[in-house]
């Protein structure tokens, strides 16, 4: 009786309505995550998995210099990618928002997304062609006589990873910054000029603070996926450009040590979470006063 | 007149093909409350923005305090503006907004600036609001912050771009009076842009009525209301009745005219402005210059006869649309609803007293 009543209530209907999606989200997000967590507390015992709960993996992951080095390098490369992407994206977003006529803005945004029409993998390979020892860049520079020897610091190292990722994530950074700039009431800029500030000081006192939510969104959007990127370091990173995701892959597949891989994945997640929380906090500060 | 604070000399502004300002010439005096009044698209805001320095002029000159402002950007002009949207910086507090323009004042230390901000807030009735976030303010409060932020810099001219249009009626009436008081208190020139003729009449010392990028008439409110120089100005400001008329004879400073519904009458040449009539000769008069006579009432003025065709009751006033005998269209007459005086019904025949001195001839 009570069950029937409950099934007729609004709450029950709501749950029923969302249940397919909720189930889907549970299966695809929560379950794998829980599995990774569980694995990280287990250990690999040759061919079988020892399911006794232990922190042994975490101790090893935190004390082993190789893992630590890879973790730091991942953060470092990600930070460099984020910095480069956001610094390059801002002027583009600014230009489109402030200097492109209104009716052509959507065309510009559309053009910016064009690189996405090709697969990520192909774009990475193209960078290999551009940056390689006999690549486009080196042959051109040699051809015009700027360099005698091909540059070697641009491929198969961290630099190549930064360049490739910065290119891949550029639209992700441009769009949120563009949106934030679009939301700025232009009369605020005029008001600042009217109150005696120059165009440059107006940028720093009005435009930039009001664009910060977009900048922070861009930082998060670029930073979070790049720290766990696997394809780019694998293809253009060389031995010194490898990142934590490559190690996780190695643990799972080559070394057949899923628990260790899971532990590294959890640790990477924790680091991303910690850094992201800092930016979310910053965002809250900048969002103060904006609707 | 003393040295005008703003001199506009044949100011022209083109936007490509569009001719936004067609030769504006005007002097605005020190301490004057001056309004630019006109329908949207008449160029009044463009003119204000050329004075502020946000727009350049195609030809002509804008002089502020005797200095040609050509090439002087907005941040270096002795003017400050209150924007239509108020343009309050949402990421700053009220005090930071008000003190925004003080940053370049290196002669003041922090305490001196705080004192100035406090005084400015007090002047606009917002003392104690300094620490509030700007986005939490109401429309009227934003307006006050915008005023304080502009006036704290002691500009020679304060420019107001439709400052009251975003407020509700009651708040608007209140702010009109406050703005007049504030202007008297600080004693600087205010230039107000508005499309609201009532607002302009209430607040201004002088009004420039603009149509299509030109000043149609520039006068004090009373002259503008009583002696509009064209039918278009007359139509834009307040309610004006028009009746077709014809000129019978002119001699010296007297003109004899025949008006449908009012008959033959003599008026002075000062009642016949030179500007175009826009569709034949006609006579204009305000609704309050006619009086409906009740039974037994007499008047020394001219008397006309008519029938009440429509009654619009406003509480303190009643508007009657009366068709005068011999006229084709009704005229509007406004009567105060004095105590004990009944509101007339539709169809009533009435005697109407009128005075030739209130007529304006457009030809």
In order, the DSSP letters of B147-181 are: HHHHHTT--SEEEEESTTTTS-HHHHHHHHHHHHH
Q: Tell me which residue in B75, B87, B103 faces A185 most closely, judged by beta carbons.
A: B87
Q: Quick one: DSSP state of residue B93? A: B
Report the C-alpha gap between B148 and B182 in whole angstroms. Answer: 11
Pick the closest to residue A184 from A172, A192, A194 (CA basis): A192
CB contact under 8 Å between A290 and B79, yes or no, is no
Rg (CA), chain B: 25
Q: Tell me which residue in B73, B76, B83 faces A187 most closely, judged by beta carbons.
A: B83
CB contact under 8 Å between A289 and B54, yes or no, is no
Residue numbers in B near A187 (CB within 8 A): 83-85, 87
Residue numbers in A near B153 (CB within 8 A): 195-196
Give the CATH architecture of domain B6-226: 3-Layer(aba) Sandwich (3.40)
Residue numbers in A near B92 (CB within 8 A): 289
pLDDT at position B323 is 93
Q: Quick one: DSSP state of residue B206? A: E
CB contact under 8 Å between B75 and A187, yes or no, is no
Which residues pair with residue B61 across a beta bridge? Answer: B9
Cα distance from A206 to chain B (closest Cα, Å)? Answer: 8
Q: Is B279 a residue whose pLDDT tops 70?
A: no
CB contact under 8 Å between B74 and A187, yes or no, is no
3-state DSSP: chain B helix, strand, coil percent, rounded to 5? 25, 35, 40
Report the C-alpha gap between B124 and B143 in whole angstroms. Answer: 9
Cβ-contact B326, B258 below 8 angstroms: no
Give the Å distances, CA to CA, from B87 to B92, B124, B134, B194.
12, 17, 10, 18
pLDDT at position A149 is 85
Cβ-contact A192, B150 below 8 angstroms: no
Q: Tell me which residue in A188, A290, A291 faces B87 most closely, judged by beta carbons.
A: A188
Beta strands in chain A (DSSP E): 43-45, 48-50
Average pLDDT (B87-111) is: 91
Pick the closest to residue B89 from A181, A188, A207 (CA basis): A188
pLDDT in tens, B50-77: 999 999 999 999 999 999 999 899 999 9
Among the CATH numbers 1.10.10.10, 2.60.120.380, 2.40.50.140, 1.10.3720.10, which is that of B231-362?
A: 2.40.50.140
What's B265-294 look like in SS3? Answer: EEEEHHHCCCCCCCCCCEEEECHHHCEEEC
Q: Is B210 a residue whose pLDDT tops 90?
A: yes
| A25: helix, strand or coil | helix
Residue numbers in A near B104 (CB within 8 A): 196-197
Termini Cα distance of chain B: 33
Which residues pair with residue B305 across a beta bridge? Answer: B351
| B349: helix, strand or coil | strand
DSSP secondary structure letters along A33-71: HHHHHHHHTSEEETTEEE-S--SHHHHHHHH-HHHHHHH
Residue numbers in B near A185 (CB within 8 A): 85, 87
Q: Tell me which residue in B81, B91, B103 faces A194 most closely, judged by beta carbons.
A: B81
Tokens of A148: 């005698």
Cβ-contact A249, A230 below 8 angstroms: yes
Beta strands in chain B (DSSP E): 6-15, 18-28, 33-37, 59-64, 67-68, 79-82, 157-161, 189-194, 206-211, 214-219, 241-251, 254-259, 263-268, 282-285, 291-293, 302-313, 317-324, 331-336, 349-354, 360-362
Tokens of B93: 């507090």
Domains observed in chain A? 57-287 (1.10.3720.10)
CB contact under 8 Å between A197 and B83, yes or no, is no
Per-residue pLDDT of chain A in tens (291 residues, 90 and over written 9) = 677 777 778 888 888 888 888 888 888 888 999 999 998 998 887 778 888 888 888 998 889 899 999 999 999 999 999 999 999 999 999 999 999 999 999 999 999 988 778 888 888 888 888 888 888 888 899 888 888 888 888 888 888 999 999 998 999 999 999 999 999 999 999 999 999 999 999 999 999 999 999 999 999 999 999 988 888 888 888 888 888 889 999 988 888 888 999 999 999 999 999 999 998 888 887 766 554
CA B64 to chain centre: 22
Tokens of B251: 């001699």
Q: Tell me which residue in A194, A206, A288 faces B133 most closely, judged by beta carbons.
A: A288
CB contact under 8 Å between B81 and A193, yes or no, is no
CB contact under 8 Å between B54 and A210, yes or no, is no
| B312: helix, strand or coil | strand
pLDDT at position A1 is 67
| B363: helix, strand or coil | coil
CB contact under 8 Å between A197 and B75, yes or no, is yes
Best A180, A190, A195 member to test B by mutation, with max B CBs in 10 Å, is A195
Report the C-alpha gap between A198 and A189 in whole angstroms. Answer: 10
| A192: helix, strand or coil | helix
pLDDT at position B278 is 54
Interface of B with A (CB under 8 A): 52-54, 73-76, 79-81, 83-85, 87, 89-92, 100-101, 103-104, 133-135, 149-150, 153
3-state DSSP: chain A helix, strand, coil percent, rounded to 5? 80, 0, 20
Lowest mean pLDDT among A2-11, A105-114, B116-125, B217-226: A2-11
Average pLDDT (B77-98) is: 93
Cα distance from B90 to chain A (closest Cα, Å)? Answer: 5
CB contact under 8 Å between A191 and B87, yes or no, is yes
Residue numbers in A near B15 (CB within 8 A): none
Residue numbers in A near B133 (CB within 8 A): 288-289
Cβ-contact A279, A53 below 8 angstroms: no
Instruction: Please give the angle made by the CA atoms of B73, B79 and A194, to the nearest 5 degrees.
Output: 55
Q: In terms of residues, how long is chain B?
A: 363
Domain spans of chain B, in order of start: 6-226, 231-362
| Total CB pairs under 8 A between chain A and B | 73
Residue numbers in A near B90 (CB within 8 A): 188, 210, 289-291
Q: Which residue of B has its CA nearest to A190?
A: B54
CB contact under 8 Å between A209 and B91, yes or no, is yes
Best A186, A194, A197, A199 member to test B by mutation, with max B CBs in 10 Å, is A194
Q: Quick one: DSSP state of residue B133? A: B
The residue with tokens 């009543």 is: A5
Cβ-contact B13, B21 below 8 angstroms: yes
Q: Tell me which residue in B74, B92, B103 faces A193 most closely, judged by beta carbons.
A: B74
Q: Is B251 a residue whose pLDDT tops 70?
A: yes
Residue numbers in B near A283 (CB within 8 A): none
CB contact under 8 Å between B87 and A198, yes or no, is no
Cβ-contact B91, A289 below 8 angstroms: yes
Cα distance from B91 to chain A (closest Cα, Å)? Answer: 5
Q: Which long-range contacts (CB under 8 A, 24 or more apart) does A228-235 make?
A: A228/A74, A228/A268, A228/A272, A229/A165, A231/A120, A231/A121, A231/A124, A232/A124, A232/A161, A232/A164, A232/A165, A232/A168, A233/A77, A233/A161, A235/A124, A235/A125, A235/A128
Q: Which residue of B has its CA nearest to A210?
A: B91
CB atoms within 10 A of CB A51: 13
ipTM of the assembly? Answer: 0.84
Report the C-alpha gap between B358 and B283 in whole angstroms. Answer: 10
Termini Cα distance of chain A: 47
Instruction: Classify the phi-psi angles of A208: left when phi > 0, otherwise alpha if psi is within -120 to 50, otherwise beta.
Output: alpha
Tokens of B174: 């209140």
pLDDT band (50, 70, 90) for residue B297: confident
CB contact under 8 Å between A191 and B135, yes or no, is no
Q: Is B274 a residue whose pLDDT tops 70?
A: no
CB contact under 8 Å between A196 and B150, yes or no, is no
CB contact under 8 Å between B81 and A191, yes or no, is yes
CB contact under 8 Å between B91 and A288, yes or no, is yes
């Amino acid at each position: 009786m009570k069950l029937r009543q409950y099934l007729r209530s609004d709450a029950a209907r709501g749950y029923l309505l969302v249940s397919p999606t909720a189930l889907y989200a549970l299966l695809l997000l929560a379950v794998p995550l829980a599995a990774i967590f569980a694995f990280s507390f287990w250990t690999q015992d040759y061919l079988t998995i020892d399911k006794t709960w232990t922190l042994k993996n975490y101790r090893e992951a935190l004390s082993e210099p190789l893992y630590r080095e890879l973790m730091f390098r991942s953060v470092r490369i990600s930070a460099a990618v984020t910095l480069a992407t956001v610094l390059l994206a801002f002027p583009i977003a600014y230009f489109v928002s402030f200097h492109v006529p209104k009716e052509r803005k959507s065309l510009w945004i559309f053009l910016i997304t064009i690189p996405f029409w090709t697969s990520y993998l192909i774009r990475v390979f193209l960078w290999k062609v551009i940056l390689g020892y006999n690549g486009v860049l080196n042959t051109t520079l040699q051809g015009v006589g700027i360099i005698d020897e091909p540059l070697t610091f641009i491929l198969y190292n961290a630099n190549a990873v930064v360049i490739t990722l910065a290119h891949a994530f550029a639209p992700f950074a441009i769009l949120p910054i563009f949106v934030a700039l679009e939301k700025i009431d232009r009369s605020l800029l005029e008001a600042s000029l009217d109150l005696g500030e120059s165009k440059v000081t107006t940028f720093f006192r009005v435009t930039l603070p009001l664009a910060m939510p977009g900048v922070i969104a861009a930082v998060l959007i670029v930073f979070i996926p790049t720290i766990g990127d696997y394809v780019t370091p694998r293809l253009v990173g060389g031995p010194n450009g490898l990142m934590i995701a490559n190690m996780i892959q190695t643990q799972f597949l080559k070394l057949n040590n899923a628990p260790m891989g899971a532990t590294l994945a959890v640790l990477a997640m924790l680091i991303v979470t910690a850094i992201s929380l800092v930016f979310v906090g910053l965002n809250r500060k900048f969002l103060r006063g904006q609707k | 007149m003393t040295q005008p604070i703003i001199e506009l000399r044949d100011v022209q502004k083109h936007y490509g093909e569009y001719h936004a300002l067609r030769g504006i010439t005007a002097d605005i005096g020190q301490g004057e409350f001056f309004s630019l009044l006109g329908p949207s698209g008449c160029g009044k805001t463009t003119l204000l923005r050329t004075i502020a320095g946000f727009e350049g002029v195609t030809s002509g000159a804008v002089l502020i305090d005797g200095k040609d402002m050509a090439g002087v950007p907005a941040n270096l002009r002795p003017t400050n503006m209150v924007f239509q949207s108020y343009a309050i910086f949402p990421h700053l507090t009220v005090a930071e907004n008000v003190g925004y323009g003080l940053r370049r004042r290196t002669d003041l230390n922090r305490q001196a600036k705080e004192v100035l901000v406090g005084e400015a807030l007090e002047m606009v009735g917002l003392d104690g609001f300094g620490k509030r976030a700007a986005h939490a303010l109401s429309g009227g409060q934003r307006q006050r912050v915008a005023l304080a932020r502009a006036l704290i810099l002691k500009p020679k001219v304060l420019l107001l771009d439709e400052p009251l249009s975003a407020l509700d009626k009651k708040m608007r009436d209140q702010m009109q009076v406050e703005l007049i008081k504030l202007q008297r208190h600080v004693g600087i020139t205010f230039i107000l842009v508005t499309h609201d003729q009532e607002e302009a009449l209430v607040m201004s010392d002088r009004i420039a009525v603009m149509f299509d990028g030109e000043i149609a008439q520039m006068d004090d409110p009373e002259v503008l209301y009583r002696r509009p120089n064209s039918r278009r100005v007359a139509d834009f400001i307040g309610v004006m009745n028009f009746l077709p008329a014809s000129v019978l004879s002119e001699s010296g400073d007297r003109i004899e005219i025949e008006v449908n519904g009012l008959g033959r009458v003599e008026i002075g040449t000062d009642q016949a402005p030179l500007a175009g009539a826009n569709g034949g000769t006609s006579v204009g008069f305000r609704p309050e210059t006619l009086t409906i006579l009740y039974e037994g009432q007499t008047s020394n003025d001219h008397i006309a006869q008519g029938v009440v065709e429509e009654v619009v009751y406003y509480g303190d006033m009643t508007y009657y649309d009366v068709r005068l005998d011999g006229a084709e269209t009704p005229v509007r007459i406004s009567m105060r609803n004095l105590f004990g005086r009944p509101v007339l019904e539709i169809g009533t025949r009435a005697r109407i007293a009128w005075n030739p001195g209130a007529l304006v001839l457009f030809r």
